[in-house]
């Protein structure tokens, strides 16, 4: 046996592990409420469950490679050409394909920070260099700062709208101004993983912005509002060269037939999904109001989570939540992101927040 290890690409060194929002048992041994991954708290809709069960009978077969029916449904749903729809293993899978398609060593990938934690990871894997522009003090994208950071090496720009973890949105007018000034050969990715939860009418629908702009690509997912996080299916809407590049870089048969069929069934159950979104958005308002009443200052979140900028108290707060039976997502030294869940789970979190805010030096 030799003692040599296989040679791995140097760019992989130092890539942080993805924070998976791990579960820990509550003190009473009950299953914790998971408010750490921005998942839907609702079980799959009955029709979706039946579809998945029926498809399970043929998992000895490969899925439809081209996701033909799902692509057709999405193209009709959004009124976009078939060739502009590309699917992948979650929207993070599609984001990684976009990097494969555009960026490598010597190139720059620009995004706001703090934002979705996968951006630095997938950028580093591609070999390109991350250029991060800090969020403004109110947790929003600094689009002027981002424009100033564009260089001739910039290949891709992520705009996370709403932003994970702050929940803030970029408004339509400012985004249009930004897009007008970004060079045409730089791909702008509007990551709209949480778009369905947006109620602020100033926020753009990326799919409207993409139509006239060949360098804009919209990312959406079935993981959040549609409640299919466990099945791994997301998609991009983009003009032909970009969508075609996504088909070239896709993992063959990556989107399972279970995922394809469940996604179609969920799209067709839109009314029920919209009702669930409505309940969740009202619950989000209730949680924010309760936090304000406790004296917390939070951003105007438009996603299915709230962000508490707790700074050095973040880890303590997350531990207190865990002990009370709710798992939340701390970003040490910065803040804690808490997904809006069922009312009961939110109430446990709110109780911890109330106790914490009363603690000497608690906030
Ligand atoms: N984009 C953003 C902003 C996210 O927060 C997430 C999930 N945390 C994703 C993309 C990826 O979601 P998925 O791969 O499940 O579609």
Whether 128 has a pLDDT exceeding 90, the answer reads: yes
Whether 363 has a pLDDT exceeding 80, the answer reads: no
- Residue 362: its pLDDT value, please? 54
* Residue % of the chain over a pLDDT of 70: 95
Place of tokens 């088909």: 247
Whether 179 has a pLDDT exceeding 70, the answer reads: yes
| Helix 270-293 / helix 257-268 crossing angle, nearest 10 deg | 80
Distance separating alpha carbons of residues 318 and 337, to the nearest angstrom: 9
Distance separating alpha carbons of residues 331 and 354, to the nearest angstrom: 20
pLDDT digits (tens, 9 = 90+) for 11-20: 888 887 766 6
CB atoms within 10 A of CB 11: 15
Determine the average pLDDT of the residues in 302-307: 98
Whether 272 has a pLDDT exceeding 70, the answer reads: yes
- Residue 31: its pLDDT value, please? 87
- Residue 317: its pLDDT value, please? 97
* Residue % of the chain over a pLDDT of 90: 89
How far away, in angstroms, is 327 Cα from ligand 1 center? 18
Average pLDDT of the chain, as a whole number: 94
CB atoms within 10 A of CB 315: 14
Determine the average pLDDT of the residues in 54-78: 98
Whether 23 has a pLDDT exceeding 60, the answer reads: no
| Per-residue confidence band for 358, with pLDDT thresholds at 50, 70 and 90 | confident
Determine the average pLDDT of the residues in 148-166: 98
For the beta sheet containing 129-134, the strands, ordered from the edge strand earlier in sequence to the opposite edge, are 85-88, 234-237, 216-221, 187-191, 154-160, 108-113, 129-134
- Report helix, strand and coil shares of the chain as percent, to nearest 5: 40, 15, 45
pLDDT digits (tens, 9 = 90+) for 308-335: 999 999 999 999 999 999 999 999 999 9
Distance separating alpha carbons of residues 241 and 224, to the nearest angstrom: 28
Nearest ligand 1 atom to the CA of 222 is: 16
The bridge status of strand 129-134 relative to strand 108-113 is: parallel
- Residue 331: its pLDDT value, please? 95
Determine the average pLDDT of the residues in 123-132: 97
From residue 148, give the alpha-carbon distance in Å to each of 143, 152, 280.
9, 12, 37
Substitution site in 90, 95, 189 for ligand 1 pocket (most atoms within 8 Å of beta carbon): 90
The bridge status of strand 326-327 relative to strand 33-34 is: parallel
pLDDT digits (tens, 9 = 90+) for 232-257: 999 999 999 999 999 999 999 999 99
- Residue closest to 109 by CA, chosen among 163, 177, 160: 160
Q: If you take atom 13 of ligand 1, which residue's CA is the nearest one?
A: 90
CB atoms within 10 A of CB 244: 15
pLDDT digits (tens, 9 = 90+) for 86-120: 999 999 999 999 999 999 999 999 999 999 999 99
From residue 313, give the alpha-carbon distance in Å to each of 203, 278, 320, 328.
32, 32, 11, 14
Q: If you take atom 1 of ligand 1, which residue's CA is the nearest one?
A: 193
Place of tokens 């030294």: 333
Nearest ligand 1 atom to the CA of 224 is: 15
Q: Which helix (H) or strand (E) holds 216?
A: strand 216-221
- Residue closest to 308 by CA, chosen among 282, 278, 338, 279: 338
Distance separating alpha carbons of residues 29 and 131, to the nearest angstrom: 44
| Per-residue confidence band for 3, with pLDDT thresholds at 50, 70 and 90 | confident
Which residues have C-beta atoms less than 6 Å from ligand 1? 38, 90-92, 116, 160, 164, 191, 193, 221, 223, 229, 234
- Residue 137: its pLDDT value, please? 92
């Amino acid at each position: 046996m030799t003692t040599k290890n296989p040679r791995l690409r140097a760019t992989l060194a130092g890539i942080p592990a993805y924070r998976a929002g791990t579960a820990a048992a509550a003190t009473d041994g009950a299953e914790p409420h998971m408010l750490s991954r921005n998942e839907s708290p609702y079980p799959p809709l009955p029709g979706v469950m039946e579809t998945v069960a029926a498809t399970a009978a043929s998992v000895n077969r490969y899925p439809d490679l081209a996701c033909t029916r799902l692509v057709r449904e999405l193209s009709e749903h959004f009124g976009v050409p078939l060739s502009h729809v590309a699917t992948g293993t979650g929207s993070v899978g599609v984001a990684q394909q976009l990097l494969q398609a555009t960026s490598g060593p010597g190139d720059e990938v620009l995004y706001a920070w703090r934002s979705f934690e996968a951006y630095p990871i997938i950028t580093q894997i591609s070999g390109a260099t991350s250029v991060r522009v800090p969020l403004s003090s109110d947790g929003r994208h600094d689009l002027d700062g981002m424009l100033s950071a564009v260089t001739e090496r910039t290949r891709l720009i992520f705009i996370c709208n709403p932003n994970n973890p702050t929940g803030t949105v970029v408004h339509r007018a400012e985004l249009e101004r930004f897009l007008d000034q970004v060079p045409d050969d730089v791909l702008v990715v509007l990551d709209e993983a949480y778009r369905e939860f947006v109620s602020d009418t100033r926020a753009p629908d990326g799919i409207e912005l993409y139509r006239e702009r060949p360098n804009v690509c919209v990312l959406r997912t079935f993981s959040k509002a549609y409640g299919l996080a466990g099945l791994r299916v997301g998609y991009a809407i983009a003009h032909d060269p970009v969508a075609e590049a996504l088909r070239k870089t896709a993992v063959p048969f990556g989107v399972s037939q279970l995922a394809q069929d469940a996604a179609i069934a969920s799209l067709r159950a839109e009314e029920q999904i919209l009702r669930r979104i409505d309940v969740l958005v009202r619950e989000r308002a209730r949680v924010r109001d309760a936090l304000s009443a406790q004296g917390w200052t939070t951003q105007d979140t438009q996603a299915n989570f709230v962000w508490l900028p707790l700074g050095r108290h973040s880890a303590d707060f997350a531990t207190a939540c865990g002990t009370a039976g709710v798992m939340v997502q701390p970003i040490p030294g910065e803040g804690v992101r808490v997904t809006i869940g069922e009312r009961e789970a939110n109430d446990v979190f709110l109780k911890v927040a109330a106790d914490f805010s009363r603690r000497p030096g608690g906030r």
